[in-house]
Amino acid sequence: MEIFHISAECYPVAKVGGLADVVGALPKYQNNAGDKVRVVMPCYDTKFKKENDFECVYWGHVKLGDFNFPFNILKEKTDKLGFELYLVEIQELFDRKDVYGYQDDIERFLSFQIATLDWISGRSEVADVINCHDHHTGLIPFMMLYCHKYEKLRNIPSMITIHNGLYQGQFGFDKLYYLPEFDLAHVNVLEWDNCINSLAVAIKCAWAVTTVSPNYLNEINSSANGLESLFNLVRYKSRGILNGIDIEVWDPAKDAMLEKNYSIKNFEKGKQENKEKLCNLFNLDPTKPLFSFIGRLLEEKGGDLLPHAAALALSENYQQINILILGSGDKVIENQLNSLLQDYKGNYNTFIGYNEELAHLIYAGSDFLLMPSRVEPCGLNQMYSLRYGTIPIVRRTGGLRDTVIDFGDDGNGICHDQATVGDICYSIQRAVDLYDDKKHFNKIRKIGMSTDHSWERVCQEYIEMYKLIINKK
Ligand code: GLC
């Protein structure tokens, strides 16, 4: 099967969040399983771009209303990622350090989608399926169906995979003229709440809709930032497929970013050495349980609860626990977290920023990982932490509910129901008690380490979904 994945992020080329990890791993496992897989993404000014060799396989001009942007399709020469990687180079729009956050993001991602389809429709071979990811690629299923110049792609099935339905890529109808020509009889397909809503368009037009966990699919029927009724309408073509993790990149026995490698056979000693290194780096106490948070400091991730929860937990368990936070995001949250540094020196620290290497060491060296998310379509961090023998403490939501079961129910982690400081602190207290009962603590860590969350198993579910829509042709 010939599969195209189209995405704004892909690890290790450019990463903001979990989307990159998924698009960096799923295609590799699909390729290993015998399919021909290509990933297409914008060409940002990244380290990966500078350090690797590319060849230009196609070029053209994107016409975006009155604008005309030259573009090149660059292929990474060696397929070193385990699949064919294509970067869409539109210098004026993407030769920048960050993936998102610019005033012209609508123009940037729309141009990216048009250039991608210009290229795909210009190729002599036809694809079997086009898998789009999130709203940045949401107009592709519409353009394939209705834009005159992509007529050749009309019968190719498209699928939208939703990693986060909160972000929808809305813009006004004043920009309608950016889109390549189509019969205006279909203009209402673009509309949701008086705007062009890229995610809604994808949900309407794609032949199949997947979310990144089964439970998230259930939740968005009642909570999807305004798209609830639409999700209800398309249930017949929707499925929740739980993400996997790349067990080659995330392997405590081989991970080169760790102080000490370990497996389920010697995890106690291995984790302790990583913990000592981490505590050394951050002036923490390696004899006390270490609670960490890794991720974006946003309300959605429960980031706003962290400063208060950390302060309360640290004062209730004075000098009995450590807390370490790695992340960046909302400046108010960042400042609140930093303002605790003075009061809890020796038991609390932060690293404001993003650092992949440090994240690996934290998974290995921590005892517990905090994930107090309000919204978590899947969540990968809990799966990384399970694999590294670190017990996740999660709010039961989205994919966290699918992957973490409370140890009180013979599970692998600690769960609470409310996104509140009280619930987080109650879970931390249960964790402290568990930590003191070494036999039980180790048993739970072992359960986590032996859970199989590999893509090998999961990628078959994607193939099944593709087959379903290909058969509908
Ligand atoms: C987004 C979601 C996260 C999910 C990831 C990968 O970042 O917020 O829950 O795990 O995408 O699908």
Q: CA-to-CA distance for 55 and 76, rounded, in angstroms?
A: 7
What backbone phi and psi angles, to 5 degrees, belong to 372?
A: -85, 30
Residue 383 pLDDT level (bands cut at 50, 70, 90): very high
Check: CB of residue 242 under 8 Å from CB of residue 402.
yes
Ligand 1 pocket mutation, candidates 243, 373, 459, criterion most atoms within 8 A of CB:
243
DSSP per-residue codes, 20-43? HHHHHHHHHHHHHTT-EEEEEEE-
Q: What is the pLDDT of residue 473?
A: 80
Domain of residue 131 covers 2-244+456-471
Q: CA-to-CA distance for 312 and 344, rounded, in angstroms?
A: 11
- Quick one: 235 and 367 in the same domain? no
Mean pLDDT of 260-269: 98
Mean pLDDT of 435-458: 95
- Quick one: 237 and 276 in the same domain? no
300: DSSP letter: G
Q: Which residues contact 141 (CB under 8 A, 6 or more apart)?
A: 130, 132, 158, 160, 201, 202, 205, 206, 207
Report the domain count for the chain: 2
CB 164 less than 6 A from any atom of ligand 1 = yes
Ligand 1 center to 469 CA (angstroms): 24
Q: CA-to-CA distance for 121 and 127, rounded, in angstroms?
A: 9
CB 241 less than 6 A from any atom of ligand 1 = no
pLDDT tens, residue by residue, 104-135: 999 999 999 999 999 999 998 889 999 999 99
Q: Which residues contact 155 (CB under 8 A, 6 or more apart)?
A: 473
- Quick one: 230 and 271 in the same domain? no
Classify residue 77: in a domain, yes or no: yes
Ligand 1 center to 213 CA (angstroms): 9
Classify residue 82: in a domain, yes or no: yes
Q: Among 283-292, 326-335, 448-457, whose mean pLDDT is lowest?
A: 448-457
Q: What CATH number is associated with residue 138?
A: 3.40.50.2000
- Quick one: 464 and 438 in the same domain? no
Reported as half-sphere exposure (CB side, CA atoms, 13 A), residue 111 has a value of: 28
CB 448 less than 6 A from any atom of ligand 1 = no
What backbone phi and psi angles, to 5 degrees, belong to 133?
A: -125, 120
Q: What is the pLDDT of residue 237?
A: 98
Q: CA-to-CA distance for 440 and 435, rounded, in angstroms?
A: 8
pLDDT tens, residue by residue, 416-445: 999 999 999 999 999 999 999 999 999 999
Q: Which residues contact 47 (CB under 8 A, 6 or more apart)?
A: none
Mean pLDDT of 360-382: 98
Ligand 1 pocket mutation, candidates 7, 15, 16, 19, criterion most atoms within 8 A of CB:
19
- Among residues 118, 205, 217, 204, the alpha carbon closest in space to that of 165 is found at 217
Q: CA-to-CA distance for 370 and 294, rounded, in angstroms?
A: 8
- Among residues 267, 291, 273, the alpha carbon closest in space to that of 389 is found at 267
Check pLDDT > 90 for residue 314: yes
- Among residues 459, 473, 4, 26, the alpha carbon closest in space to that of 207 is found at 473
Check pLDDT > 90 for residue 457: no
Give me the torsion for CA of 182, 188, 193, 199, rounded to 10°: -50
Q: CA-to-CA distance for 353 and 325, rounded, in angstroms?
A: 10
Classify residue 261: in a domain, yes or no: no
Check: CB of residue 340 under 8 Å from CB of residue 311.
yes
- Quick one: 285 and 420 in the same domain? yes
Q: What is the pLDDT of residue 110?
A: 98
Beta bridge partners of 147: 182
Neighbours of 469 (CB within 10 A): 18
Mean pLDDT of 124-147: 96
Ligand 1 pocket mutation, candidates 100, 164, 250, 394, criterion most atoms within 8 A of CB:
164
Classify residue 134: in a domain, yes or no: yes
Position in ligand 1 atom list of the atom nearest CA 216: 9
15 belongs to an annotated ligand binding site: yes
- Quick one: 198 and 344 in the same domain? no
- Give, using CA atoms, the residue closest to atom 7 of ligand 1: 18
What average pLDDT is seen over the chain?
97
Q: CA-to-CA distance for 368 and 444, rounded, in angstroms?
A: 11
Q: Which residues contact 19 (CB under 8 A, 6 or more apart)?
A: 7, 8, 9, 133, 134, 163, 164
- Among residues 205, 229, 203, 231, the alpha carbon closest in space to that of 217 is found at 231
CB 3 less than 6 A from any atom of ligand 1 = no
- Quick one: 301 and 211 in the same domain? no
Q: What is the pLDDT of residue 16?
A: 94
Neighbours of 360 (CB within 10 A): 21
pLDDT tens, residue by residue, 173-226: 999 999 999 999 999 999 999 999 999 999 999 999 999 999 999 999 999 999
Q: What is the pLDDT of residue 393?
A: 99
CB 377 less than 6 A from any atom of ligand 1 = yes
CB 22 less than 6 A from any atom of ligand 1 = yes
Q: What is the pLDDT of residue 240?
A: 98
Ligand 1 center to 117 CA (angstroms): 25
pLDDT tens, residue by residue, 157-184: 999 999 999 999 999 999 999 999 999 9
Structure-block tokens of residue 276 = 């000592």
Mean pLDDT of 31-37: 96
Classify residue 107: in a domain, yes or no: yes
Classify residue 250: in a domain, yes or no: no
End-to-end CA distance of the chain: give it in Å, rounded. 15
Check: CB of residue 414 under 8 Å from CB of residue 394.
yes
Q: What percent of the chain has pLDDT over 70?
A: 100
Classify residue 336: in a domain, yes or no: yes
- Quick one: 28 and 93 in the same domain? yes
- Quick one: 440 and 462 in the same domain? no
What residue ranges in 320-467 does DSSP mark as E strands?
A: 322-329, 348-352, 368-371, 391-395, 414-416
Q: What is the pLDDT of residue 126?
A: 83
- Quick one: 306 and 180 in the same domain? no
- Quick one: 70 and 104 in the same domain? yes
- Quick one: 80 and 206 in the same domain? yes
Q: What is the pLDDT of residue 318?
A: 84
Classify residue 93: in a domain, yes or no: yes
Give Cα 393 to chain centroid, integer Å. Answer: 19
Q: What is the reported pTM?
A: 0.96
Question: What are the b/e assignments for 57-95, b being 16+ CB within 10 Å?
Answer: ebeeebbbeeeebebbbbbbeeeebbbbbbbbbbeebbe
- Among residues 207, 213, 219, 220, the alpha carbon closest in space to that of 241 is found at 213
